[in-house]
Structures are given as C-alpha cells and as structure tokens.
Structure 1
C-alpha cells in the first residue's frame, strides 16, 4: 500500500526538466549583405553631411527666438556617412557667474533624465551632437562643449550653429561643424603654445570642419504647407462683401502675404556686423597684449636663469682651478619661477570670430546692394 501511494505521488509530480546551462550566449541576426556597407557598426564610415528634420529646424528656430545663446542636444543616427537628426531638446540655461563644472554636471544630469524618458516612450535616444543659437561662431563655449563629449559620441559628434539674428530677417542660418583630428590631438594634450600649433598645423580655420546641411521634410508637412499657401476660392460672405464695396472679387489666401524679403534691412545688418568686427579686433588686440606681456616675463626669467647658470659654471671652473671642490648643482626651476608659455587658443578663436563676422558683413552688403539695385526706378 505504501509503495502504491509513493508511486501515485511520484506520478502526479511534473517530470524533471533538463538542467539549463549557466550561461547561454545570445544570438544575433546577421546584417543583410545589401546593408552591411551602409550601416556603420564600427564607426568606420566618415561623416560627410548632415540631414536635419523639419521639426528639428523649427525647434531650434523657436529656441533661438527665446534665448540668444541657447544650447541643446541633437538626437538621431549616422547612416551611410550622413548624420540624420530626427529630434532635439534644449538644455537648461544657467547664470554666467555660476561655476562651469557645476553647470556641466547639471546639464549632463538633465540630458540623462530626458534621454531616459525618451527611451520609455520608444523615442529617439541616440545623441549625435549639440546645437547652439549664437550670433558669434567659434566661441570658447562651443569648443569646450564639443570637445568634452568628443570621445563619448560616435564619430566625435556634430555641432549645429544657428544665427537667430538672420532668422529675424527671413534667413534660416544653419551651419554644421565637427572638430578636426589635429585640433583634438592638441586639445587632449592641453598644449596650444606656438610650437604645438606648428606641429599640429593649427590655425583658426582648421579648428572646425564644416559639413553640408540639407533639410528633410515629410510628405505630410509638405502637403500641409502646399494647402495653406494655395489661394482658395472666395466664400459667399466674401463675395457679397466684395460686391457691396464695388471692388472686384479676388481669391483669398490662407496665409497672409509676406513682404519682409523686400525690406532692404541694410542699416541694421551692416551696423551689427561692423560692430562685431570692431569688437573682435579690440578683443584680439587685448589678448595679444596679454600674450606679449607674458612672453616678456618668460624671457626675463629665462635670462636671469641663464645668467645664474653661467655664473655658477664660471665659479665652479675657478674653484677647480684652485684645487677646491665644485659647488653642488642646484635646481634652477626652484630658484626662478618661469611661467609656462601662454595658450594661443583664445587668439585663434578671436581670429575665427573676426573672419566669420567679416564674411557675414560681405553677405549682408552684397544682398543689400542687390535689393537696392532692384528697387531703383527704371
């Protein structure tokens, strides 16, 4: 009876399962051969262009209207050498007097939280770079922002700069940049002295590499813009009002006419760009005076150190000739505080700002002259 009871209990228990291995290697689907040369897994395909979605462009323009110096993160992916930016979000602004390290930590925490929320709703979460709205390119903040996450982002990431002052005149000014390898090599070494610039062949034009930009608009957005810009037939009320005022009925457009492109806008554009050029020249002259002062200090200390070493050698030679033991050698660096050679990075950035402002001045005056010529009476 006991045997039959044990057999019944054993029969009612589930059959033992085979022991599963402690570690099971995951399996991955192979990339199709037709897409292996397009999908960049190892980040070996160099970036050659940038594609901005229309929503990204509108967000950056809106941020530029709200803040003169706004910063944000670009989200997307790099596909066959093209960085396709499909979304973006702005980063919080902090006062200028706040510590730079604290601001960087706060912005990094905010970026991490936003990307986590996007991951929860299955949104784009891959950061591909940053954007900044500014009227003066090649600022120190732009370089620090891009260089700080150069190793973390694929291909070093990109930087999109938007000029809100030109957007107010109906010109969507967008430029995409990426830091050059020779600049990153000097930046990692923290050496921007004259000899380092010569070795890395660095000038203000070789800090950033500009990439071409194209705007991608979805079919629905294009259809909507086409619908709202197309003239519509007048309604019954509009026709009645037109006849009552003895005027000819004309088609009414959903969008009001915009004559901002006919505005010459020469005085404000030329004045602003001239002011930027003059301010850049003043800042560059001040920086060069500081560098010259530090260079004179270095030369003065080196002359004193060399004179001390020469005097010590002569004294030792005299003592040896007299049969005395030479004086012990001393560390010259402890006796004479020779300051390090000043960095020339700020000078290069100021030269880049002057060059960019001069080019903007050339574009503004060229466009204004064409408008003035077109506005002349025949």
Structure 2
C-alpha cells in the first residue's frame, strides 16, 4: 500500500537555484540615518493629514481649556515625519500624584495598543492648543525640556491656534527650545545678570521649525468631490437651487468680529495685569534682598572696626563669623515667569493688530455698502 501511494505521487522536482542577491549602494543621507548615533540636524517637520484632523478635532471639542497630546512618527534624514497622534487626559493640577500616575498609565497603555496593531508608536513630541497665539506657559517649557533631554533630535512641540481655525485658517506651528535657554533652564539660572550675559528675551526662548502638511491623494480627491457643485437629481427643483454642494457656503468673512476683538482686548489687559503683579513681586523681593545685604555689610564693617581697635590695644582680634550663617540672604528671584508673561503680551498684541486691521476694513466696507 505504501509503495502504491508513493508511486501515485508526482515525481519531486529539483529545487530552483536562488538568484544571487543584489545590493544597491546606500545614499550618503541614508547611511547617516541607519546610524542611530548620527547627529543629523532637524530641518523641518511634516504633519500627516490624519494627525492634523485629530489635533483639530481634539482642540475644537475643548474651547475653554487648552488640550495637549503626543505626536507619533519618525525622524528621517533631518525631517520629522508626524504620522499619528493621540490626546492625553486633561487634569487641572499637575501637583496631584494620582492624576499624574493615571496619565502615565494611560500613555503607556495607548503606546502598547498602537504597537500591537503595528502602528507608529515612537513619540517624537507633543502638541498643545492655544487661543490668540498666546502659548507661553511654564507647563509647555517643562514638558518640552524633558522631551529635548530624552528624545532623539530633541522632539518638537506643535502649537495649534483655535481662534485661527474658527476663521478658516489652519494654524499649526512647530517649536523647540533654543540651546541658550535650555542651558539656563538646566542650571536654573534666570537672574537679571544671567539674562543680560546670555542676551535672553522672551523671543529667544523658542525657535520655530519649518512645518508643512502632507495630505493623502485619496483625501484630496474626496475633499474635491465635496466642494465641487453638482446638479440636483430631483425633478421640479427651482433653477437657483438645482446646483448644490456637500459643503455649505461660509459667511464668516462677512462677520465684523466685534466679539473676538473684545475678547482679545480682555486677554491683553489680563496679561498686562499679571505682568505688573509679577514685576511688583520681584521688586518687593529685590528690596528685601537689598536690606539683608545692607545688614550683613554693616555687621562686617563693624566687626572690622572692633578688630582694629582690639589690635591697637594689643588684644587678639575677634574671630570672623560666617555672614551667610548669621544672615540668611534669600536668592535672587527667577525672572522666567516675567519672560513668559511678556511672550503672552506680545502674542496677544500681534493677534490684536491683525484682528483690528481686518475688522477695520470690514467696517469701512459695510459703511460704504450702506451708503453712509
């Protein structure tokens, strides 16, 4: 039986000889990428359409509070390609240990789930929403400093302006901390003399990285079908309504925007008040430090006079005591908060300039159209 079955099977064919493998020369730029230790400067950031839509939706769902999340992708030949993103849970206070641990567990779980479905799970930075361009905050600086210390190429932060999105403008900007500011941040050196020596202002905290958005051709084709007018297939339709489009027309350009202008003025005044309060606190601390230094200098001068008098009398001089131990001189206050508040004031002022100029043109146009 076994011999019959063996005879009925087809004769085995000789295994084909595999062709000799061919290798192509690796470009110089790719050879640097293969080396994980290569120091390739980051020149641009590329946002995928999926990441853009997710960031926009997450930001639009929470108008009142700024939102943040992680960016996933790959840094390739000096270009940071962001292919995906996911939001992080919002918590009111960073001091809450339970909330922080919960956010860390959520982040680890999301990255593990993305890895299981073979999606991009490499963190390359984070994103944050803002309003009217004012994104300077201590939380952003602290988070970006951690990313630049841990991530390859330093990572980036993508700022999305919600107020511009409501006007039909997709406002996405990429930033990273400058080398001078990062050095001062690690040393916690934000005294007046340190800022003068480093020539540091609010404009030198972050440097902007060129950003471009890459869209899928299928997505472009789908959007074109939505905005292309087409004739109605229903019979008896009025000629004015026979041509329709999936995207309704937008009349936001006709809005004079008085509410946005008022809100912008309010934010500008609030930022100026916060800056004035911070400057008042710094002035009070500076006066306190000056008083303590004057007391210490007076004590040192008095001790020197006593020692001179004792030496003239032939007595041994009194031992010099540690002034820092007797007088606890407070350290010079940090001016980082003042720099951040100045950055907010500058951002609100620039937004106010653009909003007021466009609204002024609209008001003149409305006045001319009304024949006033």
TM-score bracket relative to the smaller structure: 0.7 to 0.9
Q: CA deviation at 1:101?
A: 5.7
2:232 to 228, 231, 234: 234
- In 2, the alpha carbon distance for the partners of 1:213 and 1:294 equals 42
- In 2, the alpha carbon distance for the partners of 1:30 and 1:331 equals 72
- In 2, the alpha carbon distance for the partners of 1:31 and 1:59 equals 39
Partner residue, 2:14: none
Q: CA deviation at 1:263?
A: 2.1
Closer, same or farther: CA 175–100 of 1 in aligned 2, 3 Å: farther
Partner residue, 1:279: 270
- The alignment's C-alpha RMSD in Å is 2.2
- In 1, the alpha carbon distance for the partners of 2:285 and 2:163 equals 37
Partner residue, 1:219: 217
* SS of aligned partner of 1:289: helix
Residue 317 in structure 1 maps to residue 315 in structure 2:
no
Closer, same or farther: CA 195–102 of 1 in aligned 2, 3 Å: farther
Q: CA deviation at 1:115?
A: 1.2
- In 1, the alpha carbon distance for the partners of 2:37 and 2:112 equals 24
1:256 to 248, 267, 274: 248
* Contact 2:125-2:156 at 8 Å conserved across structures: yes
Residue 122 in structure 1 maps to residue 118 in structure 2:
yes
Name whichever of 317-326 and 347-356 sits farther off.
317-326
* Contact 1:182-1:201 at 8 Å conserved across structures: no
Q: CA deviation at 1:100?
A: 5.7
Partner residue, 1:21: none
**TM-score using structure 1 length:** 0.85
Closer, same or farther: CA 101–217 of 1 in aligned 2, 3 Å: same
* SS of aligned partner of 1:291: helix
- In 2, the alpha carbon distance for the partners of 1:131 and 1:31 equals 38
Closer, same or farther: CA 187–103 of 1 in aligned 2, 3 Å: farther
Q: CA deviation at 1:129?
A: 0.7
* SS of aligned partner of 1:124: coil
Q: CA deviation at 1:300?
A: 0.3
Closer, same or farther: CA 31–372 of 1 in aligned 2, 3 Å: farther
Q: CA deviation at 1:201?
A: 2.1
- In 2, the alpha carbon distance for the partners of 1:313 and 1:104 equals 55
1:49 to 39, 44, 49: 44
Q: CA deviation at 1:315?
A: 0.7
Per-residue CA shift, 1:83-127, capped at 9, x if unaligned? Answer: 21110011111123x516655444333222211211111111111
Name whichever of 186-195 and 359-368 sits farther off.
359-368
* SS of aligned partner of 1:65: helix
Long gaps (5+) in structure 1: 1-28
Residue 133 in structure 1 maps to residue 125 in structure 2:
no
- In 2, the alpha carbon distance for the partners of 1:134 and 1:249 equals 40
* Contact 2:29-2:77 at 8 Å conserved across structures: no
Q: CA deviation at 1:137?
A: 1.2
Residue 76 in structure 1 maps to residue 65 in structure 2:
no
**TM-score using structure 2 length:** 0.86
Closer, same or farther: CA 345–139 of 1 in aligned 2, 3 Å: same
1:361 to 336, 339, 352: 352
Closer, same or farther: CA 336–248 of 1 in aligned 2, 3 Å: closer
- In 2, the alpha carbon distance for the partners of 1:151 and 1:248 equals 61
Show the 5 A alignment for 1:70-219.
Answer: 70-96=67-93, 99=95, 103-135=99-131, 136-219=134-217
Long gaps (5+) in structure 2: 1-22
- In 2, the alpha carbon distance for the partners of 1:213 and 1:260 equals 26
Partner residue, 1:298: 289
Closer, same or farther: CA 343–100 of 1 in aligned 2, 3 Å: farther
* SS of aligned partner of 2:84: strand
- In 1, the alpha carbon distance for the partners of 2:274 and 2:87 equals 30
* Contact 1:170-1:261 at 8 Å conserved across structures: no
Q: CA deviation at 1:149?
A: 2.3
- In 2, the alpha carbon distance for the partners of 1:100 and 1:148 equals 19
